[in-house]
Structure 1
């Protein structure tokens, strides 16, 4: 009975201690133990499992400087949603069920961490701010502040991050573990700000406090990379050696040893054979089977430094064929091939295809993806036009040959393809029979492997070619001998007689295996009628212009661009694209210091009304600012004085010259009206009346409009009809019958815009930002800010900026030239998202637009930006 009584008493006090409200020693002890080793412990374990999964999902890219914190893939977070939800429930229970325990704040920290991983950053920030203000546990407060710092760095809120850093610098008694995390997060802060010295200093402090050997190896490797890129090879060597210690992952150990050798010996060694032997030994080491592509890539980089470009290309091709383990490595291999063919060979077509392959191995989130994609878009345009021009040129040449000569070309091509396929098969046969055990095969002799037909690629290839000669391209199906089966299912156009080595290397993997075009199919592609020949010529005309523009504006190859444009003028003397070709050649000569006079003369003589002619006569740099206004004002005074003196011809010449050369100045409206007055003196009355009516309709200057109305009244003797006021509505029997709906008005307006403005996206374009009068003073430094924006984002585009008076109260900012609408729209998109200027309202930025040169002339005449904006929104 005594034992039972004692047990019941103990049970009573135990149940009393389970209360989450009573703040007694027994209560606190119970809740502290239960929270720590139950709910909180399990929640932390679940988060640890999720973090390990995040790490496993990320593949380190050792060829680049490793990030301080590896990025967390949202897909990996989604895959661990169940674990994170369980951790959230457990942390919530640790708070709700054990409110008086010491682990409540720690559990709140875990909730903030879960919110951070699930991208609920606002909730995470609020949780950590709450802990900083309310928690009495300095350990937890410091953890919360460090995690808050990491979030601010990720969001690029560097002012907030600096505030947190300053706050933490004044804190005392920060634990060793928190100091280690703090220094790592400081390194992350400096990494985001591209301050390498700060990263190095923070990581060195972090390593001193790090106890995890794998983490220490990784941080040492990052420091080795940073010092190697800074040129401090001795320091890099020490850190790479330190990274090899601590039993790191094999890939990290491999790259540490590889780079340590590079900074210690390979880069400085004059014994090239020793260096090459080192790479050969690495390649032969069976432990490096999965990293052979890396070894070949590094060897190729070494050969490039020795100016052995051919050897480097061969090594890179071999590296691309290795299976490999690191996905991005293949991307770097193809990227390097693209760079070689772009920079050294100037083979932009081959470079494009290598870039295609490189981008398949990168993710859109990778740092180099955006730049490579932009470069690829340019090379895509070049390649499409180059291949079109080359193919059409070959077809036209073939069309001029006799039928016998055409047949001979087709037969030679088929024969060359057969030889190529057999040579590839023989190479495979040699590779297959080169094993060291080939002479020990059971059936006697050393040719046993090649005696069986299907084990001999050469025999198989010859058999396929022989079958093709007899039967053509037959599908794999029953009754294939039937005559009704169609021949030549695979039709290839006649290729050019020459081909580059790079093209052959690219196409080897995709080459046709045993299927060749027959002679009839090849000959059928040769054009014979004049309509088809004219179509090919038209395509070549456009291709030559586009190649000239791409080479000059995008690839900065003015000499090559000049060749294509002069070919256009030579082979297409009646081309509608001559004016743009003249203009581009004018820009090329201006860029290279050549003579521009010839093309200015051609434009003025052949295309006097072309917008390109007006552009060369009125360069943007000469048309901007005070100088243009002063010149225009002086010419206006001279013209008006000549008008008053009766010298109408001189006055007319002055007004037209000034309007052509300086179309957008503060006196343009006055010059236009004076020119109309001179029309009244020198031309028929009908023309005078027509121009007055146009001026009244389009002018935004009320005083000059009133003057024009008076002139019109004096000419016609009739007053202009007054507009109907709202009091006249009684005269309308049914307002609905005479009033158009808003949709109908908008439709009519759009029709007018389409008639006035012509959509031509291939034409040279201008970017325009209209500046309202009320913000002119706030945007006085806008042009300078744009120049900085261009230097940062469009270094190779040679963009020019001008600030012009459009109407009396409104100015416009122009950026030019863009070779087509796509380039202009790309600029506008980047302008809207990345250009920041305090005095420029976002609403005004969104009203920016792009316009072709031809449409700009119309806009300049009509002075109606709203009208063009409607056309822009519907067309672009």
Structure 2
């Protein structure tokens, strides 16, 4: 009976402890123990498992300053979603089932952390704000604020982050563990703001509070990198040595040793042999087998500092062939090769192909991806046109040779290809080991190349070449000897396209080993024989020379090389339609380099008087952009009109035309043009007068002046235009021309087809960026040009952009930024402008009204004065 009574008493006490509401000592004890060691413990363990996976999925890039917090890949998070959701469920149970325990707030913190990892940042922020306000546990509250700070930094909400920092700075009794996290997050804050001094200070304090050896080694390595880049080699050496202590991961230890030696003696040593031996010993060390590409890369950098460019290139090529284990390292190797060929050898074509390889080893999220991709776009344009010019020039030279000589060159080319393929195959032939175990193998030998045919690349390649000599290039097929499969039908192709030609001359090694070699007939078929074929090649070369000149001048800052290609264009294509643009680009080159621009200004005025390029050199944007241009043009117009009324037509014409040439984009441009036509009516034939009026009516959108021109045409021909039938009574010519307050309205478009007939898509032409400004916005944007200059200095420092303002119509001004060598460059500028340009007086709605326009289309826009019409064209074409 006594045992039964004791059992019932214990059962009664236990039942009291199970209640989640009663705040008794027994209750609290039960819920604290159960919540801590069951639900909370298991939830935290699941999160730590996921964090271990996050860490394992990230590959450190030791060649760059390590990030304070390694980025977490969303794919890895998705792969751990089950663990995170299980942790959420367990943390929820710790809250719901054990409400009076001490671990409720800790469980809320875990739920906020899960939301953070799952990118539910708003929920995470609300959770941590709730803990800050409601939690009585300072340990949890501080931890929540630190995590909140990290989220604000990631979101680049620096004002909110600064508020949290200020709040925490006033808190007392922050635990050692939370202080360590706080200083690490402060380092993250300064890292995001690119304040290196702040990062260094925060990391030094963080290291003092860090007990985990691997974490401490990593932080010491980061500090060493920062000090090395700041030029404090002695401090960098000390921190690299600290990083190597404590048995850190092998890669971290390897890079710590490598960079410590660099800052200690390699960079300062005059004993070059000692330095080279150091790298050679690192390379031979079997522990570094997976890091040999790193060793060769670092040795190449050393050789570059000794101006041993060829040796460095050879080392980089060898590094690229090593297997390695760090994916990005291959990217850095190819990037360095691209830089060497760009800067040292000025071989932009080779640099482009190395950049192609480099970008394959970087992710789009990597910081260097976008700059490399942008540079590659420029080099792509250069390479395409360079190869067109090179290939077409070779084909044209061949076309002028006798057939016998063409055949000899084709045969020599095929023979050289065979020798190249055999040499490559020989280099790939593996030497067999002559050890005792190898001799026991079925095909073991004395260490020479394998005697088994399919194990010997040289033999396979020789067999493929022999087959080609007998049978030509044949696709794999059953019964290929059948007569139906004509040999001639398989080897002779039609005239190849430009891309086909390039493909024929660049056969991959893999295909070559299969016996794919160009036959003589195919090579000869590529040589142009017909006049239209030769003309087509010349047209391509003409375009390529212009594009090369523009790319080299505007993008690669090589005016000397650009000048050569443009002069070649003028020499080899004297009747080119692109001469005006070539003259204009040469004018800019001479202006940039301090040369004489007079020759090209003269050629433009003489050969292309109506070209927009001619007007541009006669009236630089900066000169016509001021209000003085409008005042001068207005004054000259009045004088010319007075001379016309007085019958002094010669003076009136000279003044009108000189004003149009000097100030082509003013408020009175249309009136000056019509005055010039009226003078033509007094001094020239009726036919020329009629043609001038018809052209003016077709291109001018000023209603009052168009109506006046129709009246003049009707008076001349006696025929009334259909549009004039609905017009109101004509105004006096004299009175109308004296009206200064003309109104420009947007003409209604009949259809998109009509717009496309006026404007043409020519994205390869030089482009202008335009921002339309209405009168009521002029006051707010008075300092806009200065702000844009600052924007250009920061983002387009090497682009040589010019900014100007024009009074486009009486009711509108336009801001112009020029020149852009093509539409792509102009659109890149516009996108950057929309995303990053901030100016208090420029609302977003006005920014979005900006557009880009080619030189040719700008000439039409200036005549038609219809912004809305061009905006419709821009939206559909760009």
TM normalised by structure 2 equals 0.90
CA-CA distance at 1:563 after TM superposition = 1.2
Change (3 A) 1:689 1:663: closer
Contact 1:474 1:485 in 2 (8 A): no
Alignment of structure 1 residues 388-399 onto 2, 5 Å: 388-399=388-399
Change (3 A) 1:126 1:672: farther
Residue by residue over 1:735-779, the C-alpha shift from the partner in whole angstroms, topping out at 9 and shown as x without a partner, is xxxxxxxxxx99833122112112211111111110122222222
CA-CA distance at 1:393 after TM superposition = 1.1
Partner residue of 1:699 out of 684, 698, 702: 702
Q: Secondary structure at the match of 2:853?
A: strand
Q: Which residue of 2 aligns with 1:638?
A: 639
Q: Which residue of 1 aligns with 2:838?
A: 836
Change (3 A) 1:668 1:534: closer
Q: Secondary structure at the match of 1:621?
A: helix
CA-CA distance at 1:845 after TM superposition = 1.3
Q: Which residue of 1 aligns with 2:279?
A: 279
Contact 1:421 1:514 in 2 (8 A): no
What is the alpha-carbon distance in structure 2 between the residues aligned to residue 480 and residue 693 of structure 1? 71
Partner residue of 2:778 out of 776, 779, 800: 776
* Structure 1 range deviating more: 372-381 or 776-785: 776-785
Residue by residue over 1:287-306, the C-alpha shift from the partner in whole angstroms, topping out at 9 and shown as x without a partner, is 00000000000000000000
Q: Secondary structure at the match of 1:822?
A: helix
Q: Which residue of 2 aligns with 1:766?
A: 768
CA-CA distance at 1:8 after TM superposition = 2.0
Indicate whether 1:351 and 2:351 are aligned. Answer: yes
Q: Secondary structure at the match of 1:767?
A: strand
Residue by residue over 1:177-206, the C-alpha shift from the partner in whole angstroms, topping out at 9 and shown as x without a partner, is 111001001101111111111100000000
What is the alpha-carbon distance in structure 2 between the residues aligned to residue 533 and residue 305 of structure 1? 48
CA-CA distance at 1:243 after TM superposition = 0.4
Contact 1:335 1:354 in 2 (8 A): yes
Q: Which residue of 1 aligns with 2:848?
A: 846
CA-CA distance at 1:17 after TM superposition = 2.5
Partner residue of 1:866 out of 861, 865, 868: 868
CA-CA distance at 1:691 after TM superposition = 7.8
Q: Which residue of 1 aligns with 2:556?
A: 555
Change (3 A) 1:439 1:573: farther
CA-CA distance at 1:490 after TM superposition = 7.8
Change (3 A) 1:652 1:84: same
Q: Which residue of 1 aligns with 2:731?
A: none
CA-CA distance at 1:135 after TM superposition = 1.5
Change (3 A) 1:452 1:759: closer
Alignment of structure 1 residues 413-812 onto 2, 5 Å: 413-429=413-429, 432=431, 437=435, 446=446, 449=449, 451-485=451-485, 487=487, 514-668=515-669, 671-672=672-673, 674-675=675-676, 678=679, 681-682=682-683, 684=686, 686=690, 698-699=701-702, 748-812=750-814
CA-CA distance at 1:26 after TM superposition = 2.1
CA-CA distance at 1:529 after TM superposition = 1.3
Q: Which residue of 2 aligns with 1:95?
A: 95
Change (3 A) 1:510 1:661: farther
Residue by residue over 1:828-851, the C-alpha shift from the partner in whole angstroms, topping out at 9 and shown as x without a partner, is 122212222222111111111111
Residue by residue over 1:444-465, the C-alpha shift from the partner in whole angstroms, topping out at 9 and shown as x without a partner, is 9956545554454434333332
Change (3 A) 1:260 1:447: closer
Contact 2:421 2:509 in 1 (8 A): no
What is the alpha-carbon distance in structure 1 between the residues aligned to residue 692 and residue 764 of structure 2? 37
What is the alpha-carbon distance in structure 1 between the residues aligned to residue 266 and residue 508 of structure 2? 34
Change (3 A) 1:109 1:810: same
Q: Secondary structure at the match of 2:62?
A: coil
Change (3 A) 1:614 1:723: closer
* Structure 1 range deviating more: 767-776 or 60-69: 767-776
What is the alpha-carbon distance in structure 2 between the residues aligned to residue 80 and residue 794 of structure 1? 43
CA-CA distance at 1:674 after TM superposition = 4.7
What is the alpha-carbon distance in structure 1 between the residues aligned to residue 696 and residue 392 of structure 2? 52
For structure 2, the residue ranges without an aligned partner over 5 or more in a row are 499-504, 729-746
* Structure 1 range deviating more: 810-819 or 250-259: 810-819
CA-CA distance at 1:694 after TM superposition = 6.5
Contact 1:69 1:188 in 2 (8 A): yes
Contact 1:441 1:448 in 2 (8 A): no
What is the alpha-carbon distance in structure 2 between the residues aligned to residue 675 and residue 817 of structure 1? 31
Let me know the Cα RMSD of the aligned residues: 3.0
Alignment of structure 1 residues 248-287 onto 2, 5 Å: 248-287=248-287
Contact 2:220 2:240 in 1 (8 A): yes
What is the alpha-carbon distance in structure 1 between the residues aligned to residue 693 and residue 213 of structure 2? 91
Contact 2:464 2:513 in 1 (8 A): no
Q: Which residue of 1 aligns with 2:379?
A: 379
Change (3 A) 1:225 1:674: same
Contact 1:394 1:495 in 2 (8 A): no
Change (3 A) 1:64 1:486: farther
CA-CA distance at 1:228 after TM superposition = 0.6
CA-CA distance at 1:698 after TM superposition = 2.0
What is the alpha-carbon distance in structure 2 between the residues aligned to residue 389 and residue 686 of structure 1? 46
CA-CA distance at 1:148 after TM superposition = 1.1
Q: Secondary structure at the match of 2:482?
A: coil
Change (3 A) 1:80 1:453: closer
Residue by residue over 1:237-262, the C-alpha shift from the partner in whole angstroms, topping out at 9 and shown as x without a partner, is 00000001121111000000000000
What is the alpha-carbon distance in structure 2 between the residues aligned to residue 275 and residue 103 of structure 1? 58
Contact 2:690 2:713 in 1 (8 A): no
Change (3 A) 1:32 1:439: closer
* Structure 1 range deviating more: 142-151 or 217-226: 142-151
Contact 1:474 1:486 in 2 (8 A): no
Q: Secondary structure at the match of 1:653?
A: helix
Change (3 A) 1:340 1:284: same
CA-CA distance at 1:47 after TM superposition = 1.0
Contact 1:692 1:712 in 2 (8 A): no
Alignment of structure 1 residues 17-28 onto 2, 5 Å: 17-28=17-28
Indicate whether 1:310 and 2:313 are aligned. Answer: no
* Structure 1 range deviating more: 382-391 or 773-782: 773-782
The number of residue pairs the alignment matches comes to 844
What is the alpha-carbon distance in structure 2 between the residues aligned to residue 679 and residue 136 of structure 1? 93
CA-CA distance at 1:647 after TM superposition = 2.1
Residue by residue over 1:52-83, the C-alpha shift from the partner in whole angstroms, topping out at 9 and shown as x without a partner, is 11111110000010000000111111111111
Q: Which residue of 2 aligns with 1:732?
A: none
Alignment of structure 1 residues 69-88 onto 2, 5 Å: 69-88=69-88
Q: Which residue of 2 aligns with 1:825?
A: 827
CA-CA distance at 1:595 after TM superposition = 1.2
Residue by residue over 1:65-107, the C-alpha shift from the partner in whole angstroms, topping out at 9 and shown as x without a partner, is 0000000111111111111111111111212222222222111
